[in-house]
């Protein structure tokens, strides 16, 4: 397919209820986002209106609520560098350009609300307290500028890609509100599952792809593309007037669409890896509960790819130069370990990174090859473990200063822990643990304790000592 055709609007409810774990009543969506964005693609300016319906499902009473406004991480004035020093040359390839998002008026249940916008954190002071079980509708308007940079949100001057752009509710849990800044290492995002309905208006010649099923309408010289997504943790989109696309449908009926503005040599191979990965995770973990997955080209030279619900951004250089497409499988794994099963990616990055790194091995390698790789990785990590700070898994993104330390611990030590767990409890029980983890925590947030208890239940034994060593000791436990 050379040009995208509008996708039929599917009532995601049907899909979610028939193919995914039953959603218990208390987990029914408590947040609904409705947004309309008007985008001047050439000037990279966005005008937006957003409504957020939220229900207070906690037993706390709120006089204020918090939202993330992550585009401000790319501002020249942000106190937090959104990319590490090592990455900054590639990110600012076109020179220095900085993004921002300003907030206009904010209303809570139609009453004007005061707010404070401090870098990426928006504090909204509610005119009326929000008590347990009550609903509030927040309405706000904003103006944003997408910088010409290579990052999760950015542009090459022609095409544009936007990750974490819509203001989203911060998570409130037993530790209070989570208003972490946009750390330069890792994925500093922690959100609950929600429903999104987003309309994006552009000049007529642009194609917009994003999270959810889409339809579009045209009027005069404008095109409005409307997306609907259920039970996802964020909304991402990308825009180009020169996309080429190709699609494939998996054995379970999920459409995988690859959109590129360049011409990668191995279109078919990329789609084939994607299909194989979707089938593998679907079988090993549980059904993919959405009708489609969009792979779309972006400029992300420091990452290869970045996962969003139903959307994966793949870096241009990676698409055109790589011969190994394992990163495609990795980002697809995050559809399960990040989007479907949520976790706090800031304090427990191993729960999505380590798990995905381990699970993706089975797509490409035999058991013997997995053993061989694990032994080699273990030896290499053991050799350098004393130079890594901190070397244990129980560490937040906030404490890392080097990408290699973060990677060696949260990805590699995390991966090796899951490898060691599978060896310890056996394949059958390990597979049962993964399936049970999906059944229990789909569309929810799993804590480290939840993951460990699920593993213990499947194993039928206490794993306190096992997890204790991997999580908290400086040295690497035996494999």
The footprint of Zn ion (CB under 5 A) covers: 353
CB of 275 or CB of 352, closer to Zn ion: 352
CB of 407 or CB of 441, closer to Zn ion: 407
Nearest residue to Zn ion, by Cβ distance, number only: 353
- How remote is the C-alpha of 93 from its chain's centroid? 24
Torsion of CA 300, 301, 305, 311, to 10 degrees: 20
Which pair of structure tokens corresponds to residue 43? 């000037």
Q: How far is the CB of 330 from Zn ion (least distance, A)?
A: 5
Q: How far is the CB of 352 from Zn ion (least distance, A)?
A: 7
Residues 402, 478: Cα–Cα separation, whole Å: 25
| Residues near 313 by beta carbon (within 8 Å), at least 6 away in sequence | 152, 161, 163, 236, 238, 296, 297, 298, 300, 305, 306
Residues 456, 447: Cα–Cα separation, whole Å: 14
Q: How far is the CB of 304 from Zn ion (least distance, A)?
A: 10
CB of 353 or CB of 361, closer to Zn ion: 353
- The β-bridge relationship of strands 237-240 and 160-162 is antiparallel
CB of 115 or CB of 350, closer to Zn ion: 350
Q: How far is the CB of 24 from Zn ion (least distance, A)?
A: 28
Q: How far is the CB of 308 from Zn ion (least distance, A)?
A: 12
Beta carbons of 381 and 408 less than 8 angstroms apart: yes
CB of 117 or CB of 445, closer to Zn ion: 445
CB of 82 or CB of 147, closer to Zn ion: 82
- The β-bridge relationship of strands 168-169 and 244-249 is unpaired
Residues 71, 153: Cα–Cα separation, whole Å: 8
CB of 180 or CB of 353, closer to Zn ion: 353
Beta carbons of 398 and 186 less than 8 angstroms apart: no
Residues 391, 151: Cα–Cα separation, whole Å: 28
Q: How far is the CB of 20 from Zn ion (least distance, A)?
A: 22
Q: How far is the CB of 457 from Zn ion (least distance, A)?
A: 26
């Amino acid at each position: 397919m050379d040009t995208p055709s509008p996708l039929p609007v599917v009532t995601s409810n049907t899909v979610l209820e028939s193919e995914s774990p039953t959603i218990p009543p208390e987990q029914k969506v408590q947040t609904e986002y409705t947004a309309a964005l008007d985008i001047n693609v050439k000037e990279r300016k966005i005008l937006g209106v957003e409504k957020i319906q939220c229900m207070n499902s906690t037993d706390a009473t709120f006089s204020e609520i918090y939202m993330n406004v992550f585009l401000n991480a790319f501002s020249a004035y942000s106190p937090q560098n959104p990319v590490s020093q090592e990455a900054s040359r590639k990110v600012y390839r076109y020179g220095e350009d900085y993004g921002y998002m300003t907030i206009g008026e904010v209303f809570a249940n139609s009453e004007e609300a005061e707010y404070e916008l401090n870098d990426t954190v928006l504090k909204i002071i509610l005119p009326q307290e929000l008590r347990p079980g009550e609903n509030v509708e927040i309405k706000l308007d904003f103006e944003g500028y997408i910088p010409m940079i290579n990052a999760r949100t950015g542009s090459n001057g022609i095409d544009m890609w936007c990750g974490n752009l819509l203001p989203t509710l911060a998570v409130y849990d037993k530790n209070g509100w989570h208003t972490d800044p946009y750390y330069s290492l890792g994925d500093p995002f922690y959100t609950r599952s929600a429903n999104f309905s987003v309309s994006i208006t552009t000049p007529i010649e642009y194609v917009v792809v994003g999270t959810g099923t889409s339809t579009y309408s045209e009027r005069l010289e404008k095109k409005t593309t409307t997306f609907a997504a259920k039970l996802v943790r964020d909304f991402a989109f990308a825009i180009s007037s020169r996309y080429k696309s190709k699609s494939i449908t998996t054995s379970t009926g999920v459409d995988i669409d690859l959109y590129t503005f360049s011409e990668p040599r191995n279109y078919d191979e990329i789609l084939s890896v994607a299909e194989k990965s979707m089938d593998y995770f679907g079988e090993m973990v549980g059904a993919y509960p959405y009708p489609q997955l969009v792979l779309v080209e972006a400029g992300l030279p420091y990452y290869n790819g970045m996962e969003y619900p139903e959307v994966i951004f793949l870096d241009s250089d990676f698409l055109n130069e790589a011969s190994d497409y394992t990163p495609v499988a990795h980002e697809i794994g995050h559809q399960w370990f990040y989007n479907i099963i949520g976790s706090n990616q800031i304090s427990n990055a191993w729960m999505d990174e380590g798990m995905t790194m381990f699970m993706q091995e089975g797509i490409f390698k035999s058991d013997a090859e997995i053993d061989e790789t694990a032994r080699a990785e273990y030896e290499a990590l053991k050799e350098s473990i004393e130079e890594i700070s901190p070397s244990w898994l129980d560490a937040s993104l906030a404490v890392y200063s080097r990408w290699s330390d973060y990677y060696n611990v949260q990805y590699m030590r995390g991966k090796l822990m899951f490898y060691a767990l599978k060896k310890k409890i056996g394949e059958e029980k390990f597979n049962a643990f993964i399936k049970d983890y999906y059944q229990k925590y789909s569309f929810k947030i799993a804590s480290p304790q939840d993951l460990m208890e699920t593993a213990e239940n499947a194993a039928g034994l206490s794993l306190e000592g096992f997890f204790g060593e991997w999580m908290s000791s400086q040295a690497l436990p035996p494999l």
